Each structure stands twice: as structure tokens, then as C-alpha cells.
Amino acid sequence: MNRKQNPHRIALVGVGKAQKDSPKDGCKIGYIHAEMLARQARGSLLAGVDISEENLQAWREKFGVPQGFTSYEEMLRDLKPDVVALATYVGSHYPMIEAAARAGVKGVFCEKPFLNSPAEIKKLRLLVAETGVKIVVNHMRRYQPIFVHAKALIDAGRIGTPALMSAGIADWDLSEWGAHWLDIFRFLNSDSPVQWAFGQTRTRDLRSFGHQMEEHGMGYFHFENGCKALLDGGSAIGSCCMQINGSEGAIRLVDEGRGALQTKDGFEEFTRPSYGPEVWLGVWNALFDWMEGGPEPDLGASNQLLTSELNLALYVSALTGDRVDFPLASDLDVWPVDAIARKNQTT
Ligand SMILES: NC(=O)c1ccc[n+]([C@@H]2O[C@H](COP(=O)([O-])OP(=O)(O)OC[C@H]3O[C@@H](n4cnc5c(N)ncnc54)[C@H](O)[C@@H]3O)[C@@H](O)[C@H]2O)c1
């Protein structure tokens, strides 16, 4: 395929708030998508969709996007895009993916958190089998150079056998930010299956990104390769964003650009550039490559359903007060943090 003559036709859904009221009141991720898509030639951003006329107008003016819709269904009917990018909140992802796949859309670029409930995991597997729709999830940190380097150190055996990975995220939850760290823990473990998980949350009345959020949550889980992982949402762990302890050494990532390796041979610091456009475009290119006949990437739905399953399992564990063994057997069909909040009100 000549990419320049035949680029993929893209519509972006959920362009981002024109006005923000608080730091947790949205990150306008649709703006970053538009900025990044303007830097490449494999796809053309032809339309935006948003339920807010104000948001839509501000975004279209800024990026010069030709068409705008306030109805997603109308956009699918009129534009017939090849690809939809979903930058809306988690509760709308599955219904939008299903509508797109049934309207003939071939590729979906979906923001994290991927799915809203355990029931949607099952539905999505069936939908993919039925329609062949290709979905990638924007856990773009798999392309962030510092994590690629940390994985290379682990794969080279520099810290021996990985034993415990830990991370803390000050003032964030297990899904909006936590989903990134859960996915990076899986990436660093070469996507070894998770065997079991415990989760706990303090849930009061915090809502953001269109859903109930916990104020503080934590997850502890075990990979089939023997490594365990601990994620503490709500509080940071020292001056470190992630620590990976192995049988013969440790890696400490101070932030997403700086880290250190400690082994019996000594201590070495390293730095890597953080967040270049190639990190975002890496995800877009992975989707385009797949749509053009390449293999499914690790950000494809087959693998990303497992990150979603882990994320939801931590909440199911908090809801049931029990350990969750994988595969997740729950049929819960609502956002689990909503179910936790309801349970708190009745107990
Ligand atoms: N990959 C990342 O690092 C990253 C970073 C930030 C946010 N996100 C994710 O992106 C998603 C959006 O977050 P945001 O921070 O951009 O939020 P935001 O509030 O800035 O933007 C969301 C937009 O979606 C629109 N919207 C809501 N429901 C809609 C619907 N049913 N149909 C059409 N439009 C709808 C809103 O009007 C708003 O313009 C969230 O799932 C969030 O987790 C990802």
C-alpha cells in the first residue's frame, strides 16, 4: 500500500475539555492525539466527535479538522472511517467499539482504562472473533525508553530473577494512572500470566473521568514466573516511581527519565529521554502496521485484555474481600468502583 496516497481515514471521539475546573477534571488527551497525528502521514484525521459543541468547536479550530459531529452514530454513518480513536471515558469504550466494528470500522485506538467491567471482557473477545476488528490500547509507556531499558536489563539477567516490583502513585487511583503501571509490570515480566491478585480501596464520593474513583487503592499480585508486584495508588513510595528487586540486584526508576541499576558489581545511573512524540506515534504505527498485514502488537486487544482483567480484578477483590484467581470468573457488568461505593452505603 502506498501510505501517502491511501492513508487511513480517522475520526477522534472525545476531543477534550475546552475548560478545566480542577487537575483531575480531564487531561484533554484528544489534543495530544491531534498534535501527534499532524506529525505523520499514514492516517488523516478527518473528523472529531464530542457531546459538547463547545469542546468540539475549540478543538476543531485549533487543529483545523474538517468535520465535526455531536453524534457518534451519525459520524459512523456519514463518514465511514477506517479507524476510530476513542478518547472518551472508560464507560463508553465497549459500546463505541461494538458500534464501530458493526459499522465496518477496521481499527480502533482506545484510551486506557480499556474496559468498564468483567462482563465486557467476555463480550469484547466474542466481538473480535466475530468481526476481526483490530484494537490497540494506549498503554504507550511500553514505548517509553526508560521502561524499554529496564526490560532489557531484566532480560539480560542483570538483576537475576525478578522477585518484587513496586510502584506508588501519589494522589492517583488504580485505573486512571494505575492502569499504566499495571501494564508496565506486565511488560517488564514479558507478559507472564498473573495467577492471583488482592486489592483494597478506600472509596468515598470522589468522581472524575466520568466514573466513581477510589481515594486510595492498592493491589498486590503474583505472576506465574514467580515475581510479585505491589501498586499503591494514593501515595508515592519515597523518591522513586518504581522499584524492581531481583535475586541478584535491583533497578530503581526515579522518574520516567532517570534510573539506577544496583548489582553485586556496583551501582550505575542511567538517563533516557522521556515522552518524545515517538512514544505516542509508536502506538499509532503499531495499529497501522497491524492493519496493513503485520502481526498483532503487544498493545493489541489479545494482550491488553489481560491488563484490563488485572485492573478490574483488583477492584473485584476489594468488592468481595477475597483473593481473585485468574482467569477472572466474575460476571459483574458495572464499573466495580461503583459497586464498591454502593456496598459501602448499605453496610
Ligand atoms: N494515555 C494516557 O496517558 C492518557 C492521559 C490522560 C487521559 N487518558 C484517558 O483518556 C480518556 C479521556 O480523558 P481526558 O483527560 O482527555 O478527558 P477530558 O475530560 O479532557 O476529555 C473527554 C472528552 O470526551 C467528551 N465526551 C464524554 N463523553 C462522550 C461521549 N459519550 N461521546 C463523545 N464525547 C464524549 C467530553 O465532552 C470531553 O470533551 C480517559 O479514559 C483517560 O483515562 C489517557
Query: By residue range, what is the domain housing residue 54?
Result: 8-140+279-296
| Within a domain: 79 | yes
Q: Which of 153-157, 177-181, 205-209, 317-321 has the lowest mean pLDDT?
A: 205-209
Peptide linkage before 327 cis (omega within 30 of 0): yes
Atom from ligand 1 closest to the CA of residue 30? 16
Answer yes or no: do 134 and 165 share one domain.
no
Pairwise pLDDT comparison (37 vs 205), residue with the higher score: 37
CA atoms of 256 and 74, how far apart (whole Å): 40
CB neighbours of residue 106 within 10 Å: 18
Split at pLDDT 50, 70, 90, the class of 345 is: confident
CB neighbours of residue 41 within 10 Å: 9
> What percent of the chain shows pLDDT beyond 70?
96
| Within a domain: 2 | no
Pairwise pLDDT comparison (338 vs 18), residue with the higher score: 338
CA atoms of 71 and 65, how far apart (whole Å): 16
Task: Please name which of 180, 232, 227 lies closest in space to residue 201, comparing C-alpha atoms.
Answer: 232
| 3-class DSSP assignment, residue 81 | coil
Average pLDDT over residues 283-303: 98
> Residue 226: its pLDDT value, please?
97
Atom from ligand 1 closest to the CA of residue 93? 41
| Within a domain: 3 | no
| 3-class DSSP assignment, residue 184 | helix
Q: Which of 12-21, 164-173, 234-243 is the most confident on average?
A: 164-173
Answer yes or no: do 59 and 180 share one domain.
no
Atom from ligand 1 closest to the CA of residue 31? 16
| Within a domain: 347 | no
> Residue 2: its pLDDT value, please?
42
Beta strands 266-271 and 258-263, pairing class? antiparallel
Average pLDDT over residues 11-39: 86
Q: How far is the CA of 259 from the centre of ligand 1 (A)?
A: 31
Among protein residues, the one with the nearest Cα to ligand 1's atom 17 is: 26
Among protein residues, the one with the nearest Cα to ligand 1's atom 27 is: 88
CB neighbours of residue 109 within 10 Å: 25
**What distance, in Å, lies between the first and last C-alpha atoms of the chain?**
60
| Within a domain: 177 | yes
Q: How far is the CA of 30 from the centre of ligand 1 (A)?
A: 7
Residue 193's CATH number:
3.30.360.10
Looking at every residue in the chain, the average pLDDT score rounds to 94
User: In this predicted model, what pLDDT tens digit does every residue of 107-148 receive, in sequence order?
Assistant: 999 999 999 999 999 999 999 999 999 999 999 999 999 999
The CA-atom distances, in angstroms, between 209 and each of 15, 71, 176 are 13, 20, 8
Q: Ligand 1: which residues within 6 Å by Cβ?
A: 13-17, 26-30, 49-52, 55, 72, 87-90, 92, 111-112, 138, 176, 209
Which uninterrupted H or E stretch holds 244? strand 242-246
Q: How far is the CA of 94 from the centre of ligand 1 (A)?
A: 14
- Residue 17 identity (one-letter amino acid): K
β-pair partners for 201: 217
The answer, yes or no, to whether residue 317 has pLDDT greater than 60, is yes
| Within a domain: 332 | yes
User: In this predicted model, what pLDDT tens digit does every residue of 203-260 receive, in sequence order?
Assistant: 998 988 989 999 999 999 999 999 999 999 987 776 678 999 999 999 999 999 999 9
Average pLDDT over residues 51-80: 97
Answer yes or no: do 180 and 146 share one domain.
yes
CA atoms of 82 and 8, how far apart (whole Å): 6
Answer yes or no: do 41 and 173 share one domain.
no
Average pLDDT over residues 148-162: 98
> Residue 170: its pLDDT value, please?
84
Split at pLDDT 50, 70, 90, the class of 25 is: low
Answer yes or no: do 109 and 211 share one domain.
no
What domain count does the chain have?
A: 2
Split at pLDDT 50, 70, 90, the class of 43 is: very high
Answer yes or no: do 74 and 192 share one domain.
no
| Within a domain: 146 | yes
Answer yes or no: do 39 and 119 share one domain.
yes
Answer yes or no: do 129 and 145 share one domain.
no
> Residue 304: its pLDDT value, please?
98
Answer yes or no: do 129 and 185 share one domain.
no
| Within a domain: 119 | yes
> 478527518: which residue's cell?
46
What angle in degrees, to the nearest 10, is found between the helix axes of 29-37 and 53-63?
A: 30
Answer yes or no: do 247 and 136 share one domain.
no
Answer yes or no: do 190 and 112 share one domain.
no
Q: How far is the CA of 251 from the centre of ligand 1 (A)?
A: 33
Residue 289's CATH number:
3.40.50.720
Answer yes or no: do 42 and 98 share one domain.
yes
The answer, yes or no, to whether residue 346 has pLDDT greater than 80, is no
Backbone φ and ψ of 263, nearest 5°: -135, 180
Torsion sign across C-alpha atoms 270, 273, 278, 284: positive
CA atoms of 154 and 164, how far apart (whole Å): 12
